[in-house]
A and B are shown apart, each in its own frame.
Chain A
C-alpha cells in the first residue's frame, strides 16, 4: 500500500506554549484515519499544519510525496489541488450559489468549458444527494445541506485525499450520522483516503479504519478502533467514556495556584 500522508517529528509552539510535541504518523492509500482528542489537545493545530495553513516549527509533512511544511506558496498550491478539505463550518462562499461554490475549484484550476463544468457540478451534487440545488444560496439551506455542498466542493477535482474537520459539529445526531455515512460511502466508492479530526466518539468509531488519540500534543494511543476501545491508557479510557478525572482539573493547577498566591515554590 502506498503512503499518501506522512508526518515526521512535527513540533509546534505558540509563544512559550508547546502545542505539538513530536508527532509521527502515516496514512496509507484508501484508509480512513481518525484523529481524536480533547479541546486543546492539539488536533486542530495538527490539521492546520497538514493542510499547509500553519508551518510547523520542526518536522516534515509529506502529502503525496511532497513536503508541504517546507514548500513555497506556489508549490503548496500545486499540492492543494490534489486534496480536498471539509471545514467545520462548511466555509461556503455566501456570494456564490451552491452550484458556483462547487464549480469554483474547477473554474480556477482547469480549462474546462462552462458546459462541462455544469455537468460535473450536477454529478457531484447528486453524489451528496443534493440534485437540483445548484441555484440555491448557501444561506437558504440547512447546516446539514451546507456540509454536503462543502463536501461536493471538496471532491470537485477528484482528489485522492480528503481532510475533514469535525464533520458532525453543529449538527443534530441524525444529520451527523448521515454525513458520516456519506463520508464512508464516498471514501469507499471513490477510493479516497480520508483523514478525519473529531472529538465525537460515536462518529469516530463509526468511520475509522484506524485511530490516533492526541493528548497534550502527543499521540498517546494509535491503532484500529477495537484496540483503542480496549486501550489501557488512562486518558484514552477517560476520553472514550467521557469521565471527568479529578486529577486533570486540579492536580497540576493546584501547585500553580498556590504558587501564584504565596509567590513561593515551597508553600507546604
Chain B
C-alpha cells in the first residue's frame, strides 16, 4: 500500500492539537504561579482560606479509605513476593527492608498519586466542568472575580498539601501491610521485622519519595483543573473531559515517575 501524503493529515492535526493543549496547560500553570507568587505582593487576594480548607477536607475524606485499603494491600503483596524470592537465598528476614524501601522510593508515591488522580482529580474536573457548562465560570468573570484564584488556587494548593501527606502515610501503611504478612504468614519475629524495615530506610528514600509526590500533585492538579475549565459541549463534554483528566493524569504520573527516578538515581547515588 502506498501512503498518500494526505494520509498523515489526521495524525499531524492530532499532534498539533496535543501541542496546543500543552501550551494552554502551561499558560494555566503560569497563571497559577502568578497568583500564588506575585499577586499577593501586589496586594491582590490570591487565596480564599475557607475554600482552601473545604478542599483539604474534601480531598482527605474522599481518598483516605481507599489509600488505606490499597497501600496496605500493596505492602502485603510486596512482602509475599519479596519473601518468595528471598527465601531461595534463605534471606526472608530482609523482607521488611525490601518492602519499606520500595514503598518509600517508588510504590507509595506512585500508587497514592494514581488513586488521587482517579478519585480527587476526576471530581475536580467534573465539578469545574459542570460549573463551566452551566455558565457559573462566566458568572464569576462577569462579577469581576477572576476564576484562577477563586477556583484553581484552592484546589491546587490543597492537592499540593494533601498528596504528599497521604504519600507519607502510605509509607507507614505499606510497612504495616508487609508486617501483617511477615508476622502472620511468614512467621517472622514482629520486633525484628519492624527494626529491619526502619533500619533500611534512609532519609534520602523518604525525601525523594515525598519530592515525587509534590511533582505528581502539581501534574494531577493542573490536568484536572485545566480539563475542567476547558470543557466543551454540555454534560456529555463533562464526562469526556473527566475521563481524559484521569487518563492523562495517570500517563503523566508514570512518565514523570520514570524521569524522576532516573534523575534521583544519577543525582543522588
Contacts and interface: CB of A to CB of B under 8 A. Distances in A.
Touching chains A and B, CB distance < 8 Å = yes
Interface in B123-169: 131, 134-136, 138-139, 141-146
Interface size class of A (residues with CB under 8 A): 20 to 34
A109 B142 contact: no
B136 A93 contact: yes
Contact of B135 (A73, A91, A108, A109): A91
A87 B144 contact: no
B144 A81 contact: yes
Contacts of A85: 139, 142-143
A169 B203 CA distance: 62
A92 B145 CA distance: 14
A99 interface: no
Nearest to B143: A105
Contacts of A91: 134-136, 138-139
Given A89-B134, A91-B134, A109 B139 contact: no
Interface residues of B, number: 13
B152 to A, nearest CB: 15
A117 B105 CA distance: 51
Contacts of B141: 52-53, 80
Interface string A75-106: 01111110001011101110000000000110
Contacts of B145: 77, 104-105, 108
B47 to A, nearest CB: 13
Residue of B45, B134, B143 with most chain A CB atoms under a 10 A cut-off: B143
A108 B143 contact: yes
Contacts of B146: 73, 77
Contact of A80 (B45, B131, B135, B143): B143
A53 B144 contact: no
A227 B84 CA distance: 91
A52 B144 CA distance: 10
B135 A88 contact: yes
A51 interface: yes
B197 to A, nearest CB: 42
A23 B241 CA distance: 36
Contacts of A109: 144
B56 to A, nearest CB: 15
A87 B143 contact: no
Nearest to A73: B146
B143 A53 contact: no
A85 B45 CA distance: 23
A89 B144 contact: no
Contacts of A87: 135, 138-139
Contacts of B134: 89, 91
Contacts of A93: 131, 136, 139
A41 B141 CA distance: 25
A80 B144 CA distance: 5
Residue of B45, B141, B142 with most chain A CB atoms under a 10 A cut-off: B142
A88 B135 CA distance: 9
A87 B131 CA distance: 13
B130 to A, nearest CB: 8
Contacts of B136: 91-93
Contacts of A73: 146
Contacts of B45: 108
A79 B146 CA distance: 13
Contacts of B143: 80-81, 85, 104-105, 108
A35 to B, nearest CB: 17
B142 A89 contact: no
Nearest to B134: A89
Contacts of A81: 143-144
Nearest to A163: B142
Contacts of A52: 141-142
B17 to A, nearest CB: 16
A11 to B, nearest CB: 22
B165 to A, nearest CB: 23
B106 to A, nearest CB: 36
A65 B144 CA distance: 17
B32 to A, nearest CB: 16
A136 B138 CA distance: 23
A78 B143 CA distance: 10
A115 B141 CA distance: 26
Interface of A: 51-53, 73, 76-81, 85, 87-89, 91-93, 104-105, 108-109
14 contacts: A52-B142, A53-B138, A73-B146, A76-B144, A77-B144, A77-B146, A80-B143, A85-B139, A85-B142, A85-B143, A87-B139, A91-B136, A93-B136, A108-B143
Question: 3 nearest interchain CB pairs?
Answer: A80-B144, A91-B139, A77-B144
Given A53-B138, A81-B144, A105-B143, 11 more contacts: A52-B141, A53-B141, A78-B144, A80-B143, A87-B135, A88-B135, A89-B134, A89-B135, A91-B136, A93-B131, A108-B144
